[in-house]
Structure 1
Amino acid sequence: MNILHIMASVSDEGGGPIEALVQADAVGRRKGHRRTIVSLDLPADPWVPRCPVETIALGSPFVRRGRRTMPWLRYGFTPHLVPWLKRNLGAYDRVVVNGLWNYTALAARRVLPYRSTPYFVFPHGMLDPWFRSAYPVKHSCKQAAWWIAEGPLLQGARAVLFTSEGERTAAAGAFWPYRLRGLVTGYGTGDVPVATAGQAAAFQACVPALGDKPYLLFLGRLHPKKGCDLLLAAFATLRRLAPDHHLVIAGPDRDGWQAALQAMSRDLGIADRIHWPGMLRDGAKWGALFGCEAFVLPSHGENFGIAVAEALACGKPVLLSHKVNIASEIVTAGAGLAASDTAEGVAQLLAAYLALPVEQRRLMADRARRCFVDRYAADRVAERTLAILENPDQFT
């Protein structure tokens, strides 16, 4: 199959969606499938040539320049996408729209339902009901957009693809009217590299004050949805239980939240035990994952969390909130623990893990690796996704 993916950006700061797509492309190519991405990036963006999947960047320089003074331009309008789709759609066997609430959804809505090429929509967690309560005004704006673009787009799709049954269940009724056919693809990532001293050194260079102290790791976008404030409040309660432990909070700060989190850590008296290396890439990222005691994601809502799969692949226990949609699978596999997405819940989560005997932690680490191989390896997930794209009617 020749598959076209439509998405806002191929920047690796976008996290899971582009990483999963790259991994799926590697599997698909071995089976003779070819993927192309069309995005709202600018051709001059440095991450475009770095993307290993062929990318056609159609973004508007005018929109990019005006984003800082006119926030609504973050929607990403470009006059080039709709004409390009009309001219080129016939060259593809399948189309996948990745993500919602940006101009790609409206452009796709204007073209895809009126052509014969089967198309699918991958929301990537963007139907999470948490946003409805956390941002009611923004949710009202999205409801209006739903009537115009997202709703008809999803209704006309051959299938809407969810990463887990938890995500599909949580999304039901998020907007009105909610008419779509949802299928669960699973989600995964490629296997991790072998741990090396070079990776450890690359990470240490990013956090020189950490030294050889034991640490818990948060690796992801700094956003209120991710629960980093809960993590800080919980970590502050562990002074007696784990006085030597540190916490690494690594990830891009696109929303400017880090300053408030750092101020919070100072108020809690734990600033000297918190490290902020920013976004970690390549060897530094693997060094952080291989070196941590456990990975922590206390999110208020998470369709999957690609970093969770990466941590499991590194043989690291994962400590999650129940709002991470695969938390129950991981707890059942004995690969981690889960609790509520509150300060008290996260404190109990960290305390429960740190109170485990060393042998039980090692057993949990062994089960983490097995959980990855059995459930979240890229090959298995990519094969199911390709099967759905080929013939969604054989799935329920």
Structure 2
Amino acid sequence: MILALANARKEKKRPAAILESDGQPLMRILHVISTLNPAAGGPTESVRVLLSYGPIGYTGEVVTLDDPKAPYLKEIPFPVHALGPFRTTYGFNTKLLPWLIQNRERFDGVVVNGLWQYCGIAAWRALSGNTPYVVFTHGMLDPYFKRAFPLKHIKKWLYWMPFEHRVLRDAYRVLFTSKAEKRLAEQSFRLHPWNPYVVPYGASGPTGDPEAQKEAFFKHCPQVRDKRYLVFLGRIHRKKGCDMLIDAFAKVAASDPELDLVMAGPDSQQWAAKLQQTTVRAGIAHRVHWPGMVTGDAKWGAFFGSEAFILPSHQENFGIAVAEALGCGKPVLLADKVNIAEDIAEDNAGLMELDTPDGTLRLLERWIAMTPEEKQAMAERAYRCFHSRYDMRENAKAIIKLFENATVPTPRLRS
């Protein structure tokens, strides 16, 4: 018995399951994520982008807890196994664990996207000691949440001790998008004996006709046609610093009366109405526009039509919209709590200030003070910055390389 346990603890090399395509071997990788709803934010977009790169060496599938009838699943070009719907934020689902056990041998590796949901514990139970899996934390271990939501942090501790830290402990790798995110993750909880790995991250660059894409956006937001504007594109959420941005814009509006502000994104917290009241009191309601969530060509058009992208967020492990703006050749105005802000400022492809009201005000003041020539030069550097740092194709290649060399450590004995 002792000898058997000792042998079981040894790492074993998992032979790659090869799928032939035009004579070239392809790896088969599964992504596990609770939802592919675009309104859920960055992780869903990253999965969609990663799985658009099959020709570079792998083929991918997704298992999700979405309702199979969800409209946003209809035109996805890769296989999606929708086992939902789920009705709680935790996302417990009786179908997921059996599905993973039944299908795990089909895949060379599995990417678990996000924390604090049943997807992680189901993957741990099904895959540990069998199929190599990595966990993409997507910024969910940032100590910002510990400070901003102390009661929620206590609840997470109750889940962390028996479950979540084991999901990370037994993963082949725990993936972070920057050295800053990796360092910050260790400040949230004790018990972090995971195997960290920093992968290049980014977004898919724009394709299509920029002029047609701008026209698609102007149909959503006709008020800014033929106008200069800055664009915020993301969730209308307190974490994103939207209130600071509105207040700061009100203070600088008179210094550049031709500049407007677009606040594009879903309003899950029902906060936009209160922010709009602020613009009315400040007398700038006609210069701040709320087109809601924009996707596809309209999203790219929002970037292409803007002068710059702005994100004064209190916490952002990466920010896919930041990379997308750079890919459109647009400078980015960022708070220092966006983890890639320092690298972008180093490339002089954008501006960085503190995630405070004064810092947000300085972002706008500095941008307004720049000459047209300086703005154009920064736009050119933004485009180069995207291609040198944030093309998501490099992220896909990194994940493939990880699984090519993956071993499967047998999990520790569980109670």
Instruction: Say which SS state the counterpart of residue 255 (structure 2) adopts.
Output: coil
The one-character-per-residue Cα deviations of 1:314-367 (angstroms, maximum 9, x if unpaired) are 110000000001001100111000000011100001111110111111110000
Q: Which amino acid aligns with 2:115?
A: L
Contact 1:22-1:52 within 8 A present in 2 as well: no
Higher relative contact order (CA 8 A, sep 6+): 2
Partner of 2:358: 344
Q: Which residue of 2 aligns with 1:53?
A: 78
Paired residue for 2:369, among 352, 355, 359? 355
CA contact (8 A) 1:236 1:268 kept: yes
Query: Paired residue for 2:93?
Result: 78
Q: Once structures 1 and 2 are overlaid, which stretch shifts more, 96-105 or 13-22?
A: 13-22
Question: Which residue does 1:31 correspond to in 2?
Answer: 56
What is the match of residue 112 of structure 1? 127
SS of residue matched to 2:89:
helix
Deviation at 1:183, TM superposition (A): 0.6
Q: CA deviation at 1:392?
A: 5.9
C-alpha distance in 1 between matches for 2:239 and 2:250: 20
Contact 1:251 1:280 in 2 (8 A): yes
* Contact in 2 for aligned 1:195/1:286 (Cα 8 Å): no
- Length, aligned pairs only: 381
Residues of 2 paired with 1:50 and 1:31: CA distance?
22
SS of the residue 2:252 aligns to: coil
Q: What secondary structure is seen at the aligned counterpart in 1 of 2:153?
A: helix
The aligned residue for residue 17 of structure 1 is 43
- Taking the aligned partners of 1:267 and 1:168, their CA distance within structure 2 comes to 42
- Give distance in 2, aligned partners of 1:194 and 1:43: 30
Secondary structure of residue in 1 paired with 2:188? coil
Shift in Å at residue 32 of structure 1? Answer: 3.8
State the Cα distance separating 1:96 from its structure 2 match. 1.0
Q: Could you tell me how far 1:384 is from its partner in structure 2?
A: 1.9
Question: Aligned-pair distance for 1:195?
Answer: 4.0
Query: What is the aligned counterpart of 2:158 among 126, 140, 144?
Result: 144
**Residue in structure 1 matched with residue 103 of structure 2 by the alignment:** 88
1:277 Cα deviation from its structure 2 partner:
0.3
Specify the code of the residue in structure 1 equivalent to 2:42: G
Q: 1:392 to 1:298 in 2, by over 3 A?
A: farther
Residues 213 and 244 in structure 1, CA contact (< 8 A), matched pair in contact too: yes
**5 Å matches for 1:1-396?**
1-27=27-53, 29-60=54-85, 63-64=86-87, 73-113=88-128, 115-391=129-405
Q: State the shift of 1:26 in Å.
A: 2.6
Q: Which structure is larger by alpha-carbon Rg, 1 or 2? A: 2
Deviates more, 1:170-179 or 1:95-104: 170-179
Matched with 2:6 is: none
SS at match of 1:137: helix
Q: Equivalents in 1 of 2:76, 2:266: separation in Å?
A: 18
CA RMSD of aligned residues (A): 1.5
Aligned partner of 2:323: which letter?
A
In 2 relative to 1, CA 149–265 (structure 1 residues): closer, same or farther, beyond 3 Å? farther
Tell me, what secondary structure is at the counterpart of 1:239?
helix
Inter-partner Cα distance in structure 1 for 2:287 and 2:271: 19
Corresponding letter in the other structure for 2:211? A
Distance in 2 separating the partners of 1:314 and 1:196: 9
Structure 1 stretch displaced more, 253-262 or 154-163: 253-262
Residue of structure 1 in register with 2:21 after alignment: none
Verify the 8 A CA contact 1:25 1:35 in the aligned structure 2.
yes
Q: Which amino acid aligns with 1:22?
A: R
Displacement after TM superposition at 1:22 (Å) = 2.6
State the distance in 2 between where 1:87 and 1:330 align.
44
Q: Per-residue displacement from partner, 1:244-272 (whole Å, max 9, x unpaired)? A: 21100001112222222222222333222
Q: Distance between the aligned counterparts of 1:252 and 1:34, measured in 2?
A: 31
Task: Report the Cα distance in structure 1 between the residues aligned to 2:389 and 2:406, rounded to whole angstroms.
Answer: 21
- Give the Cα–Cα distance (whole angstroms) in 2 for the partners of residues 256 and 33 of structure 1: 40
Deviation by residue 1:13-55 (Cα, 9 ceiling, x = unmatched)? 233223222322232x213411111111011111122222211
Alpha-carbon offset, residue 194 of structure 1? 4.4
Find the aligned partners of 1:224 and 1:263 in 2 and give their Cα distance.
Answer: 16
Amino acid at match of 1:76: G
Aligned-partner residue type, residue 185 of structure 1: V
Same amino acid, percent of matched pairs? 46
2-side partners of 1:262 and 1:105: how far apart? 38
Q: Distance in 2 between matches of 1:17 and 1:383?
A: 18
Counterpart contact for 2:57–2:400, Cα < 8 Å: no
